[in-house]
Structure 1
């Protein structure tokens, strides 16, 4: 199959839909938390960023019969994101997690902030090598707190019901403090983009090329970049956008006119910042890529990391989530296939190729034949910026179009098992669904969930329907 490259000066390139020659999920090796990372002087893994893992201790209970653990206020090494993990991934944390952090520089302590405890619904499906690797842990959602050097934690179990035994907390709880490491150099859409229209006219995103000269690639970086080689040169920091006409022409050129007749509704390819662009350390993830058969649906999530970030900080948020997913939660890679920030910038998530059906760990029970899109932020009570909704629409119009899917239609998926549908159940879902459609959860937050109708209509419009 021929490859078509696009340069940063706007040469049109093919929208790749290359079915990968890779091991199926059942043949993939178990995840490694230190995959191919070089050892430091004391045998420690030397990678950008760091994770401090501090065990929690018993605290005086404030409610009769309720268990409490945490940490008193203390100095720690610099970090920007926090989360709590525990030993057994099948154990849920029934209670609350709150943290206070001290800002680096000013020394000011924040108010108590709540951490979303329901992260068990974002995970690899039961029975997959990733889920059964033995490295997976129970975990809360991560919370972005910004540059900090002090921490205080309190975890409280639910108060027991009258006559019931005292509620217990999971064993082996630890607070994870993640430092994302240095920022990569790439230009992003500005904060004012967040106020843009939900259904903009034309294809102009108002962004400019952020590609910069790149150093020599490691073997792991080369592998993660090579899966996008039909779209951009090796080591590219971004995949430039194409007009709808250029996207369709490239698809027809690569697969033939008959393929274009069969799939006439492909939206314009949006600009996508690659893993290289947001600074993913490829030595952290499991080495191989795992694919599913197709992409029949898109599940929209919120990251539940809070809204206290700027779009310039989004790459740091992504690197922090990535490290938390792999090093703290024990997953093989970043859980979502894509991420969208509040300014509408779109990011490549789990490695394997943006046009390919990469198996993610985003919607427990429905990771097969789907993709997961995380909108960075928490949208249970806050409205998502219109630029973020537009980013979801642009991404789905292109990616779902490659697989012949109508964003306003329904599709049927087979459940891998979860709390809403039993394993093996055939479930009819919207082609663009919210996480809560496949699992009992608040995700993607009520306010973002309420915008999915807008995203479906805009996505279909971009496809020319």
Structure 2
């Protein structure tokens, strides 16, 4: 079991006054708990406002609130939000809905629903990150654009319409409002062509023959292939796509942990959608990514952003988790199957919306290159051993497509029906890029 995190995650905190909205002359709204605000330093752009939820109703038979929320109020500017709770193992059975006010206006959005089952994106149990005791339960984050007002309601699921809740809501529910900060100068211009200087490399779990850090970080070859890989990898690696580096999208390296985790190889590319909604422009993609990064680290307690790569709807590819784009960096994207895999997230929500061709083409090119570095046929099948995913028990050997959807490894809707339906064509295209 992951340990609960009772205290707020972040740097030095200051109390922030939250003012409820009310018509002129109306009776003042009841007092609400104050927010905790984690504000970035000049070297750490962005900030997080953390608002505790208040009970709206109660179910005495369960001894817990059946509905909690945040009353409509003014807040400091933010662009991305999510809900977190103390125990990373606790599931939120119910609905989470939010509406926001566009910054500097009186325009409120319609109610939007957050994806509540986000724990399947976390780090595997039995790993250094998964057993750190720092993680929290969380919904998927939602991109809402520049906003300065918010209202939230969380309702526990009901059984058979009887009004009795199926399960109590998790303890310690808080609404996280993320300001991703301004784009850095020259954002999206840099490519991930050079490997980083290592902080602290962590060996793959249970292995004793991982190369020394200096070998792990040897400069890539001219073609971008890590030294020491078999000739088959060089033969079948597709052309390397343009990759916008962490520096290029403005990742602040002060946020993440210094330690880096690796697998032995990469056998499968798991495709995800970020479930952050599609209401972003491609110029805003770097901001969306910085928001997700801050939410994963500061709010959810992860070591770094969970995905190894991200792709926006215009087909731009971004380096995700730190450690080197050519390296088998172990992410936190597919619970039970993070080892020996790579996680690729298409920014957006694709349950009922078709992904753009530019995005799926980028997935095919990236997977062809990344899998090819390790000699994997993008059209083929491989076997991974489950670390315990809820869908497959720990230790079970699972036959998977080399390019799989998140739902192939975990019981989830991710990457959405419309994106999942494109994966057969993605595999075919990726095989072509590998000249197979």
Band of TM-score, shorter chain: 0.7 to 0.9
Question: What is the Cα-based RMSD across aligned positions, in Å?
Answer: 2.9
How far does the alpha carbon of each residue in 1:122-141 deviate from its partner, in whole angstroms, 9 at most, with x for none?
Answer: 00001112122111100000
SS of residue matched to 1:447: helix
How far does the alpha carbon of each residue in 1:96-122 deviate from its partner, in whole angstroms, 9 at most, with x for none?
Answer: 000010101233111111111110110
- Matched residue, 1:107: 106
Tell me which protein shows more strand as a share of its residues: 2
TM-score by length of 1: 0.77
**TM-superposed deviation, 1:379:** 0.1
Is 1:171 the counterpart of 2:180? The answer is no
Contact 2:39 2:48 (8 Å CA) reproduced: no
Match of 1:391 among 353, 362, 383: 362
How far does the alpha carbon of each residue in 1:249-293 deviate from its partner, in whole angstroms, 9 at most, with x for none?
Answer: x659x559xx43565211000000000000001011010111011
Higher relative contact order (CA 8 A, sep 6+): 1
- Matched residue, 2:76: 77
SS of residue matched to 2:260: coil
Gaps in structure 2 of 5+ consecutive residues = 1-7, 15-36, 200-213
**TM-superposed deviation, 1:418:** 1.4
Match runs of 1:53-452 below 5 Å: 53-60=50-57, 67-161=66-160, 166-167=165-166, 168-186=168-186, 210-211=189-190, 223=198, 230=219, 247=223, 251=225, 259-260=230-231, 263-452=234-423
Using the alignment, how far apart are the partners of 1:412 and 1:43 within structure 2?
43
How far does the alpha carbon of each residue in 1:144-191 deviate from its partner, in whole angstroms, 9 at most, with x for none?
Answer: 000000000000011134789633111110000000001124476xxx
Contact 1:303 1:375 (8 Å CA) reproduced: yes
Gaps in structure 1 of 5+ consecutive residues = 1-31, 189-209, 213-220, 233-245
- Matched residue, 1:5: none
Contact 2:40 2:47 (8 Å CA) reproduced: no
Using the alignment, how far apart are the partners of 2:250 and 2:218 within structure 1?
18
- The 1:445/1:261 distance shift into structure 2, 3 A limit, reads closer
SS of residue matched to 2:91: coil
Contact 2:187 2:249 (8 Å CA) reproduced: no
Contact 1:33 1:332 (8 Å CA) reproduced: no
Using the alignment, how far apart are the partners of 1:297 and 1:92 within structure 2?
27
Match of 1:52 among 49, 53, 77: 49
How far does the alpha carbon of each residue in 1:373-413 deviate from its partner, in whole angstroms, 9 at most, with x for none?
Answer: 00000000000001000110110111100000001100000
**TM-superposed deviation, 1:454:** 1.1
- The 1:307/1:162 distance shift into structure 2, 3 A limit, reads closer
SS of residue matched to 1:68: strand
Contact 1:360 1:371 (8 Å CA) reproduced: yes
SS of residue matched to 1:67: strand
- Matched residue, 2:4: none
- The 1:183/1:125 distance shift into structure 2, 3 A limit, reads same
**TM-superposed deviation, 1:33:** 6.0
- Matched residue, 2:21: none
SS of residue matched to 1:153: strand
- The 1:149/1:229 distance shift into structure 2, 3 A limit, reads farther
Using the alignment, how far apart are the partners of 1:350 and 1:251 within structure 2?
19
Contact 1:97 1:155 (8 Å CA) reproduced: yes
- Matched residue, 2:205: none
Contact 2:233 2:374 (8 Å CA) reproduced: no
TM-score by length of 2: 0.82
Contact 1:146 1:309 (8 Å CA) reproduced: yes
Using the alignment, how far apart are the partners of 2:87 and 2:304 within structure 1?
19
SS of residue matched to 2:107: coil
Contact 1:38 1:45 (8 Å CA) reproduced: no
